[in-house]
A and B are shown apart, each in its own frame.
Chain A
Amino acid sequence: MIKMYDLSKTYKGSGKRAVDGLTLEVNSGEIFGFLGPNGAGKSTTIKMLTGILKPDNGYIEIDGINLRDNPVAAKAKMAYVPDNHESYETLKGIEYLNFIGAVYKVPKAELNARIEKYAKQFGIFDVLGNLIATYSHGMKQKVMIVASILHEPDVWILDEPLTGLDPQSAYDLKQLMRQYADQGKTVFFSSHVIDVVEKVCDRIGIIREGKLIVVDTLDNIRASADVSLEQLFLTLTSGHNAEQAPADTAQSMDVQTTDNVPSNSSDNKGE
């Protein structure tokens, strides 16, 4: 489970808040799709969630563990697939996977079994002996995905994970995400590909200009608003109904906004 309460972040030199008062809970057993236009605050939110950035306000809990108070324990519960793979390129694939296995304290026998299983599933087992720098973009993405699931995390955070994947691998990843959620784990997934989000996610959130403007299940969206997710997204984020605030637009479509989402949050622990 992920709990984010009243998160805010302003970058140095910028007067504008990249993330402004974001409150969100993602439950165990669900795939949560996080959408937003470019510059909306998606990456900033994910970076705060994964410990790369420190929020100016608010707090984050991963399975009940506060990320600020106990970062190591919180990070041990989760895994992150970044959108940028320019890391560890001078390691061989197997070296990187062994390193991640050691970081997450995966026993050697299990680590070997999982490396073999997932690397073969994604078609990169044969090239694990080569430097990551020699891999194609898609192969680097697959290494990151395999590395992220070696310790079978309770919370799986993926940032644009399908970019560069071939159709088979994209399908396998979606199946894996579904499997994870069905096992009671949490999957938090950000993407620009709305079709995929529509097929895969149980609930979605849309962020615009640092604020979460919609959080709802896809079933509700389909049933109530009689619009596709794509239409909803474009309407809310492109300002077609400029005279209406996004929340009003969403309400007119009978879609839940952050104003009327039932809150499960505990008492305020803001900084």
Chain B
Amino acid sequence: MFRNYFALLKILFVQQFRVKDSTKHNSTGKKKRRKLSSTGVMYIVLAVVFLPILIGVAGGVYVLGRVQGSQNADVTLTLLLLICQALVTFFGVPSVITNVFASKDGDRLLCLPMRASTIFAAKLSVVYINETITSAITILFVLLPFGIGSGLGAAFYLLLPLAIILLPVLPLTLASIIAIPFAFLLRKFSNSGVLKVILQLVLFLSFMVVYMLVISQLTGVSSDNMQGTDEMAMLAEFIRQIVEQSQHIVKWILPDSMLAKAMTATSFGTSALNTLGALGLNVVLFGIVLLISVPMYKSSLIGNLENSGRRKRFDVAELKQTGKSKSLLSQLMICDFKRTMRDGQLGFQMLVNVVLMPLIIVIMAVVFNQTSDGALNDYVNTQTYQAIVALIMVGYLGSLAGSTNGWGLYAISRERQSFYLLKTLPISVKQLLLSKILLSTIVLTVTSVVAIVIAIFMFNLYWYWAIACVVTMILLQFATTCITTYLDIRKPVLNWTNFKQGLSNSVKSWVAVLIAYAEILLVGLFGGGFVVLYTFVPNIWVIIGMWLLLIIVSSLLAFFAFRFVVSKGEKLLDKVEA
């Protein structure tokens, strides 16, 4: 059994790292050097942008550690572990769904002399190993600075590698357990790919909401005792309240609390006992996952392969009803949308990223209301407040659309092998790209409108500024989609079978985040200047002028971005060869 397990694990990893872009490379001499140097520049830019953020987080946690000290540090450390696990969960749950339950190689594996438990363990191990990378980064920038700031002993540093290994176990265990009954439910709806995707999304979002609620309950404190004192004293009081509030609860999250106790222990015996306890518990958890989920996994896999679909006989009356005269552009978009949403891996990934937008607005509103304690109630009816809230909506949501929008970022890659068939059809590159960009913009528009409507109610945004927001966002999203689509057509990856490994870990995802930052900067520069002007010249026409300028700039961006991607598109797509 172990031989099969390791053989399968090796194959899955080899596949993961061999998924390359499908362009014809001319990688000799000058062009190769230019390519290497431009790649190097890009990595430097990414480091310059992201490193300060990570360093800022690390700095903040260091200060937290300094204030906390080593007393009751295990409680705070447990909370930090939970927060780190939230990140791992965020990336890990979709990974479990796409790698394990919606994988595309079931028919090849099931016919091999290999148990379903072996296949399940190997696939889950791949997810787990990928998540240890996330785990390592979060530990490096969150736990390590805390340990240094708190002045923790040798046990903390010696057990950090173990923490990296154990951190993903609980989130993946929970994800797998929760996925099991839903997998059963999803098979019931296997006729409708779209409904299946929506159910997966509901599962994921419910899980995240519950996780966040638990963390907010543990860390929600009153600000009553923090008034009129200096910042360090306020922070110390904040920490004291969190520890007091949460210690009775976190001690029951045994895998994390035992690990935290082991890392903060001053005696070898205590540390060793808690280490063994944490290790044992995580092993038991993983074992429980295998015991419960393997029987369900095999039937879920077979169910996916059977995929009965509709069995109703097609008739002439139905033929007359379908495909009512539609333009080529609308047919391209409709078929693209249906194919994406019905794909078990693609549909979920595409939807989760855009549903995040309204969800984040809700979370922002809840946090805002909790922390402001009504302090801003007097300002909500001022034009300054309205302008600032609207600009934040546009900047933040627009940037989310750029950085997480799979519809634009994987415009060609999601076609996979179908792209070659598309190349044989009489469809111009311009039509193809326009259909991709428009589809992405329409999907984003729907979620933007939902997000803005929520903002109207939760942030008291005026409806007419909300309309200005939506118009600006549509134009900015069109422009951003053009750019992210260009990134994809430069290096499309058509031979992927696993979305998470083949696509979402690619460099272009990070470049898209850079583009998102650029968008925030643009909105901030243009809009911020007008808001400042308004404080000196409180005339409504200043704000109106701000929106008009934003709309004009966004329109120009959209126009030129589209022209750019179309002009480059033909040559680039020519290089994509079977």
Q: Within the assembled complex, what's the spacing in Å between the Cα atoms of A127 and B314?
A: 6
Q: Of the listed stretches B421-429, B518-526, B541-549, B555-563, name the one at the interface; the rest are far from the partner chain.
A: B421-429
B138 → A minimal CB distance (Å): 36
Q: Within the assembled complex, what's the spacing in Å between the Cα atoms of A98 and B323?
A: 6
Do A105 and B328 contact each other (CB < 8 Å), given the known contacts A52-B577, A134-B307? yes
Contact of B423 among A51, A97, A127 (CB under 8 A): A51
Q: Within the assembled complex, what's the spacing in Å between the Cα atoms of A54 and B420?
A: 12
Q: Are A101 and B308 in contact (CB under 8 A)?
A: no
Q: Of the listed stretches B166-174, B338-346, B382-390, name the one at the interface; the rest are far from the partner chain.
A: B338-346
Contact of A103 among B322, B324, B328, B339 (CB under 8 A): B328
Q: Are A112 and B320 in contact (CB under 8 A)?
A: yes
Q: Within the assembled complex, what's the spacing in Å between the Cα atoms of A96 and B423?
A: 16
Do A108 and B325 contact each other (CB < 8 Å), given the known contacts A90-B193, A94-B314? yes
Q: Within the assembled complex, what's the spacing in Å between the Cα atoms of A84 and B418?
A: 10
- Interface SS, A side: helix
Q: Within the assembled complex, what's the spacing in Å between the Cα atoms of A101 and B427?
A: 12
Q: Are A91 and B314 in contact (CB under 8 A)?
A: no
A131 → B minimal CB distance (Å): 5
Contact of B425 among A86, A91, A103 (CB under 8 A): A103
Contact of A88 among B24, B26, B320, B339 (CB under 8 A): B339
Q: Within the assembled complex, what's the spacing in Å between the Cα atoms of A103 and B332?
A: 8
Q: Are B418 and A87 in contact (CB under 8 A)?
A: yes
Interface size on A, residues (CB 8 A): 49
Q: Is B313 an interface residue (CB 8 A)?
A: yes
Contact of A76 among B335, B426, B574, B578 (CB under 8 A): B426
Q: Are A95 and B322 in contact (CB under 8 A)?
A: yes
Which chain B residues (391-427) contact chain A, with CB distance < 8 Å?
417-418, 420-421, 423-427
Q: Is A118 an interface residue (CB 8 A)?
A: no
Q: Are A90 and B342 in contact (CB under 8 A)?
A: yes
Q: Are A131 and B309 in contact (CB under 8 A)?
A: yes
Q: Is A165 an interface residue (CB 8 A)?
A: no
Q: Are A90 and B424 in contact (CB under 8 A)?
A: no
Q: Are A130 and B309 in contact (CB under 8 A)?
A: yes
Q: What is the 8 Å Cβ interface bit string for chain B, positions 198-227, against chain A (1 contact, 0 not)? A: 000000000000000000000000000000
Q: Are B24 and A111 in contact (CB under 8 A)?
A: no
Q: Are B424 and A52 in contact (CB under 8 A)?
A: yes
Q: What is the 8 Å Cβ interface bit string for chain A, positions 98-136, against chain B (1 contact, 0 not)? A: 111111110010011001100000000111111101100
B106 → A minimal CB distance (Å): 13
Q: What is the 8 Å Cβ interface bit string for chain B, positions 425-447, against chain A (1 contact, 0 not)? A: 11110000000000000000000
Q: Is A82 an interface residue (CB 8 A)?
A: yes
A237 → B minimal CB distance (Å): 24
Q: Is A253 an interface residue (CB 8 A)?
A: no
Q: Is B316 an interface residue (CB 8 A)?
A: yes
Q: Are A94 and B319 in contact (CB under 8 A)?
A: yes
Which chain B residues (24-80) contact chain A, with CB distance < 8 Å?
24-26
Q: Is B231 an interface residue (CB 8 A)?
A: no
A263 → B minimal CB distance (Å): 28
Residues from chain A with Cβ under 8 Å of B323 in the complex: 94-95, 97-98, 101-102, 108, 111
Q: Are A91 and B324 in contact (CB under 8 A)?
A: no
* Smallest Cβ-Cβ distance to A100: which chain B residue: B425
Q: Is A196 an interface residue (CB 8 A)?
A: no
Residues from chain A with Cβ under 8 Å of B331 in the complex: 98-99, 102-103
A191 → B minimal CB distance (Å): 19
Residues from chain A with Cβ under 8 Å of B3 in the complex: none
Residues from chain B with Cβ under 8 Å of A193 in the complex: none
Q: Are A52 and B318 in contact (CB under 8 A)?
A: no
A42 → B minimal CB distance (Å): 13
Q: Is A47 an interface residue (CB 8 A)?
A: yes
Q: Is A242 an interface residue (CB 8 A)?
A: no
Q: What is the 8 Å Cβ interface bit string for chain B, positions 557-578, against chain A (1 contact, 0 not)? A: 0000000000000000010011
Q: Is A234 an interface residue (CB 8 A)?
A: no
Sampled A-B contacts (24; CB under 8 Å): A11-B577, A12-B25, A12-B26, A50-B424, A51-B424, A54-B574, A75-B425, A82-B420, A82-B424, A84-B417, A87-B417, A90-B338, A90-B339, A90-B343, A91-B335, A95-B335, A97-B323, A98-B326, A102-B331, A103-B331, A103-B427, A108-B323, A128-B319, A129-B318
* Interface residues, chain B, with chain A CB atoms under 8 Å away: 24-26, 193, 307-314, 316, 318-320, 322-328, 331-332, 335, 338-339, 342-343, 417-418, 420-421, 423-428, 574, 577-578
* Interface residues, chain A, with chain B CB atoms under 8 Å away: 11-12, 47, 50-54, 71-73, 75-76, 80, 82, 84, 86-88, 90-105, 108, 111-112, 115-116, 125-131, 133-134
